[in-house]
Structure 1
Amino acid sequence: MTARTELRRAAVLGSPITHSLSPVLHRAAYAELGLSHWSYDRFEVDEFRLAGFMAKLDSTWAGLSLTMPLKRAIIPLLDDISDTAASVEAVNTVLLTGDGRRLGDNTDIPGMIAALRERGMDKVESAAVLGAGATASSALAALARICTGQVTAYVRSEARAHEMRGWGERLGVDVRTADWDRAHEAFAAPLVIATTPAGTTDSLAGAVTGAPGTLFDVLYDPWPTPLAAAWSRQGGAVVGGLDLLVHQAVLQVEQMTGCTPAPLQAMRNAGERALEAR
């Protein structure tokens, strides 16, 4: 653990941003680590205001967390990005170094893997992905490391199908695509990763029968989603969006502060309390 006494700042940027739990998680970590001189805030910033915001950052800033729609917009404003971020062309973490450099990383991918491993899922023979957005590409990148067989992506258009197959080729994942109307067929897979916006999978909850495998639903508010609730009722294992949020935030805290390990349980407890209060 490193000790610092000078003011250090970090924040999450995005639009909309008022819903973000990142301040709760990072502040809980700072409190547990005794980093009283660290602050973590949230700022409403869209892609049009991003360059102006970045230009105003001074030497007190240590890092930034990024949510939509900034994960790709930030890349031209950085000095370098990690291989992990480059693999999906998405940055959710910016480190501001002492020599003035701005480095981008992606902690969503290792955070997703860590959340699954926490539930005992180190390897899986096949998987299904619901959706085809930015989170779906991160899911494919995570599956590239833990899935030994085919991944089926359920999407709404041929354009999205083409995009997901392209990501599969780039990431070294055997991806086949199927129409969203057949999404209920995904539930036969040992691992299903739902990456769609709130409400999208609600109509699928009634199709969860038998003894399902593991569902990773990246949403965390509202929670549980109808799909996650139905999955649990049938005895399936569920990994939620808060699990992902906490694990990726743990990695951000470690990178920004240099303090390892970050206090995962304290961060999770703070996130759970915040969600219960909503």
Structure 2
Amino acid sequence: MPPTDARRAAVLGSPIAHSLSPVLHRAAYAALGLDTWTYDRFETDEAALPGFLDGLGPEWAGLSLTMPLKRAVLPLLDTVSETAAAVAAVNTVVLGADGRRHGDNTDIPGLRAALRERGVERVPSATVLGAGATASSALAALATVCTGEVTAYVRGERRADEMRQWGRRLGVPVRAADWSRAAEGLGAPLVVATTPAGATDALAEAVPERPGTLFDVLYEPWPTVLGARWLGRGGAVLGGLDLLVHQAVLQVEQMTGRAPAPLDAMRAAGERALAARG
């Protein structure tokens, strides 16, 4: 039988088999001596999410959420942090002893922390490639990093309007441009790519001779074609693992109540897991 003090957490999403979150959280539990804690992954789409949440018992401490659940979970929560409400996206659910569900977004402070770790504190302008929940989180992070305009390259006027609206909501001056012109944005001192795998491959040939900093939120495959070209030109590159580790640190702290979470141990575990995947 499991110990009476056993606690559970998991990551939900669809698809979810690729997620590194179990590796990172389990590494944190091991380093913190939380021997009775477990962390799993569950394939869960929007239709299945309400039933999953309703079926959780008192042993559950929290959940990590990935696509397509970051916005679908909002009406299912009791409380939402100001950070998550600002971008209408939740990637962290902390479950109280009374069963109440609190939503937060650790992507935003995680992105800022990853940039700060690489010495990126302030930039005069920035480019965001793509739209959606990750792009809006990037805009929220850029609100405290970018002192000037952010140009968002998106497909279609609907996406463009969404990004302009997010900019107004977050206090970030956003200029939306069509994806066909995305190569023009690579000259910004900071470029944040929030697109799916392969979407930016065609932009690699347009990397400038002296690129600034690229933050590509993908971690598999890694490096991306764009990231490899960026590195080859001598630019600084942050990857999805940087974001994943920093946001997971905050999740572990919230779910376990233990701080600081072991950043180095979690990063090392993630790097080993990615290396093992080849």
Secondary structure of 1:145's counterpart equals coil
Deviations 1:98-135 (A, max 9, x none): 12211000000000000000000111111000111211
Instruction: Confirm or deny: 8 A CA contact 2:211 2:230 kept in the other structure.
Output: yes
Segment of structure 1 superposing worse, 175-184 or 36-45: 175-184
Cα displacement (A) at 1:5 = 7.5
Partner AA of 1:269 in structure 2: A
Instruction: Confirm or deny: 8 A CA contact 2:11 2:65 kept in the other structure.
Output: yes
Secondary structure of 2:209's counterpart equals coil
Percent of residue pairs identical:
74
Tell me, which stretches of 5 or more residues in structure 1 are unaligned? Answer: none
CA distance in 2, matches of 1:121, 1:256: 28
Secondary structure of 1:197's counterpart equals coil
Secondary structure of 2:270's counterpart equals helix
Aligned positions of 1:1-278 closer than 5 A: 6-278=5-277
TM-score if structure 2 supplies the norm length? 0.97
Cα displacement (A) at 1:221 = 0.1
Aligned length: 275
Partner AA of 1:260 in structure 2: A
Tell me, which stretches of 5 or more residues in structure 2 are unaligned? Answer: none
Secondary structure of 2:10's counterpart equals strand
CA distance in 1, matches of 2:186, 2:13: 33
CA distance in 2, matches of 1:247, 1:21: 13
**Structure 1 outlier segments of 4+, above 6 Å:** none
TM-score if structure 1 supplies the norm length? 0.97
CA distance in 1, matches of 2:169, 2:101: 26
Instruction: Confirm or deny: 8 A CA contact 2:125 2:189 kept in the other structure.
Output: yes
CA distance in 1, matches of 2:180, 2:45: 33
Deviations 1:140-196 (A, max 9, x none): 011011111000011111111111101100110000011111111111110000001
CA distance in 2, matches of 1:156, 1:50: 29
Deviations 1:245-272 (A, max 9, x none): 0000000000000111100011011111
Secondary structure of 2:144's counterpart equals helix
CA distance in 2, matches of 1:5, 1:188: 56
Deviations 1:6-26 (A, max 9, x none): 111000011111010000000
CA distance in 2, matches of 1:78, 1:106: 13
Secondary structure of 1:104's counterpart equals strand
Distance 1:34 1:170, change over 3 A: same
Partner AA of 1:55 in structure 2: D
Cα displacement (A) at 1:209 = 2.6
Give me the CA root mean square deviation: 1.0
CA distance in 1, matches of 2:258, 2:209: 44
CA distance in 2, matches of 1:82, 1:165: 23
CA distance in 2, matches of 1:100, 1:181: 48
Secondary structure of 2:68's counterpart equals coil
CA distance in 2, matches of 1:69, 1:28: 26
